């Protein structure tokens, strides 16, 4: 089985099984806004609900797959030249999967291929690297290594991939429209290049600001707001830009809900938010999934009800 070839110990220990009722008995229900794009929204909303909270989705970005941009890299004349593929997000894997499914011929790797292809992904994103997808790349499990870093972050991927010794690496990355490109992917490319990887970046999907109305649900809200969760710095910039379009700024939000807790899904998002002037109160410590950031909120409220 392909999934037995994970070469770096992965993922944090599973959560203790609980229901929203048992969690809700421990903590009062809170209204938690979150700004993630649609491809992550259901997952985060489900975790919040499980913990007894009321999710309030206020998306600031939209993500559209552009698999056609990957297809030139999947041709028989080009794909075998790659030693690794690094997926920075679920959208990157989804776009790659769509491109592979539409390829002209299978498998993508010839049976005579001489070295394994390493596929690397972050945390639970690796769920999308299914056996059916891998079989389209090669039916020979010995030709595919799955690399899931212990620390699910770009730096964790860089460290896990090690020295590339000049080998080629395909990076399905986002094209950012309407906001500044966050430094995450450029820094990732720089780190890989320093480790002697020849990085081939391809625009696998488009991350686009949703427009001036994206912050309206927050501005028009009449009830209390206990927390807001950001899962990327792009979401933060999108919200700030949406607030500005409506004549608001972040300080007005803080004055409106002075007890609102700002949570970030991991240190990379927290650093990006702080760079944009948004102080972060809670940083998820287990950021292979959304459980970590929600657990961080629960701890904060338990310590300071």
Gyration radius from the chain CA atoms: 20
289 vs 250: which has the higher pLDDT: 250
Instruction: Classify residue 234: in a domain, yes or no.
Output: yes
Are 180 and 72 in a shared domain?
A: yes
User: 6-15, 24-33, 113-122, 164-173: which range is least confident on average?
Assistant: 6-15
Say yes or no: 204 and 231 in one domain.
no
Number of domains within the chain: 2
Do residue 127 and residue 100 come from a single domain? yes
Same domain (yes/no): 250, 277: yes
- 228-272-255 Cα angle (round to 5): 40
15 in a structural domain: no
Q: Which residues on neighbouring strands pair with residue 64, listed in sequence order? A: 206
Count other C-beta atoms under 10 Å from residue 97's C-beta: 19
11 within a domain of the structure (yes/no): no
Q: Give the CATH number, domain containing residue 231.
A: 3.40.50.10090
- 56: Cα separation from own chain's centroid: 19
* Strand pairing report for 227-230 and 198-209: unpaired
In terms of domains, do 256 and 200 share one? no
Is residue 154 in a domain? yes
Domain that holds residue 268: 20-60+211-303
Average pLDDT over all residues of the chain: 90
On whether both 132 and 250 belong to a single domain, the answer is no
Instruction: Please identify, among 159, 188, 209, the residue that sits at the C-terminal boundary of a domain.
Output: 209
Residue 126 in domain: yes
Position 286 in a domain: yes
The Cβ of residue 238 has, within 10 Å, a number of other Cβ atoms equal to: 28
In this structure, the answer to whether residues 68 and 200 fall within a common structural domain is: yes
What is the structure's pLDDT at 5?
A: 32
Is 3 part of any domain?
Answer: no
Q: What is the pLDDT of residue 27?
A: 61
Tell me, yes or no, whether 12 lies in a domain. no
**Pair (157, 85) in one structural domain:** yes
> What is residue 12's predicted lDDT score, i.e. its pLDDT?
31
Domain boundary among 166, 181, 209: 209
Rounded-to-integer distance, Cα 165 and Cα 195, Å = 8
Asked whether residue 22 carries a pLDDT value surpassing 70, the answer given is no
Secondary structure, 3-state, the chain? CHHHHECCCCCCCCCCCCCHHHHHHHCCCCEEEECCCHHHHHHHHHHHHHCCCEEEECCCEEEEECHHHCHHHHCCCCHHHEEEEECCCHHHHHHHHHHHHCCCCCCCCCCCCCCCEEEECCHHHHHHCCHHHHHHHCCCHHHEEEECCCCCCHHHHHHHHCCCCCCEEEEEEEEEECCCCCCHHHHHHHHHHHCCCEEEEEEEEEEEECCHHHHHHHHCCCCCCCEEEECCHHHHHHHHHHHHHCCCCHHHHHHHCCCCEEEECCHHHHHHHHHCCCCCCEECCCCCCCHHHHHHHHHHHHHCC
**pLDDT surpasses 60 at 20:** no
Q: Is the pLDDT of residue 15 over 90?
A: no
Report the alpha-carbon distance of residue 123 to residue 54 in Å, rounded.
25
Same domain, 251 and 151: no
Confidence of residue 286 (pLDDT cuts 50, 70, 90): confident
The closest of 82, 108, 68, 83 to 204, measured between CA atoms, is: 68
How large is the average pLDDT for residues 67-83?
Answer: 97
pLDDT in tens, 224-255: 999 999 999 999 999 999 999 999 999 999 99
pLDDT tens by residue, 1-13: 443 333 332 223 3
| One domain for residues 188 and 222 | no
Query: In the listed set 194, 209, 224, which residue is the last one of a domain according to the structure?
Result: 209
Does 75 share its domain with 56?
no
pLDDT band (50, 70, 90) for residue 289: confident
Query: Do residue 247 and residue 202 come from a single domain?
Result: no
């Amino acid at each position: 089985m392909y999934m037995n070839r994970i070469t770096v110990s992965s993922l944090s220990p599973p959560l203790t099984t609980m229901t929203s009722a048992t969690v809700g008995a421990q903590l009062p229900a809170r209204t938690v806004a979150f700004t993630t794009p649609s491809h992550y929204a259901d997952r985060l909303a489900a975790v919040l609900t499980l913990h007894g909270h009321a999710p309030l989705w206020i998306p600031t970005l939209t993500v559209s797959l552009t698999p056609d941009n990957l297809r030139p890299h999947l041709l028989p004349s080009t794909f075998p030249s790659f030693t690794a593929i690094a997926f920075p997000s679920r959208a990157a894997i989804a776009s790659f999967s769509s491109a592979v499914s539409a390829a002209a011929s299978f498998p993508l790797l010839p049976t005579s291929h001489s070295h394994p292809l390493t596929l690397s992904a972050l945390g639970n994103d690796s769920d999308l690297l299914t056996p059916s997808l891998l079989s389209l790349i090669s039916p020979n499990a010995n030709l595919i290594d799955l690399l899931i870093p212990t620390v699910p972050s770009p730096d964790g991927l860089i460290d896990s991939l090690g020295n590339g010794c000049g080998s080629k690496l395909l990076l399905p990355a986002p094209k950012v429209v309407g906001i500044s490109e966050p430094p995450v992917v450029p820094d990732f490319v720089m780190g890989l290049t320093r480790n002697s990887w020849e990085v081939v970046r391809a625009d696998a999907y488009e991350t686009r600001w949703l427009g001036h109305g994206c912050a309206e649900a927050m501005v028009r809200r009449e009830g209390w707001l206990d927390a807001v969760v950001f899962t990327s710095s792009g979401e933060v910039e999108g919200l700030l830009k949406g607030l500005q379009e409506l004549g608001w700024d972040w300080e007005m939000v803080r004055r409106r809900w002075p007890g609102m807790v700002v949570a970030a899904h991991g240190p990379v998002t927290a650093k990006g938010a702080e760079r944009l002037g948004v102080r972060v109160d809670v940083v998820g410590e287990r950021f292979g999934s959304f459980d970590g950031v929600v657990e961080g909120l629960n701890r904060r409220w338990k310590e300071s009800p």
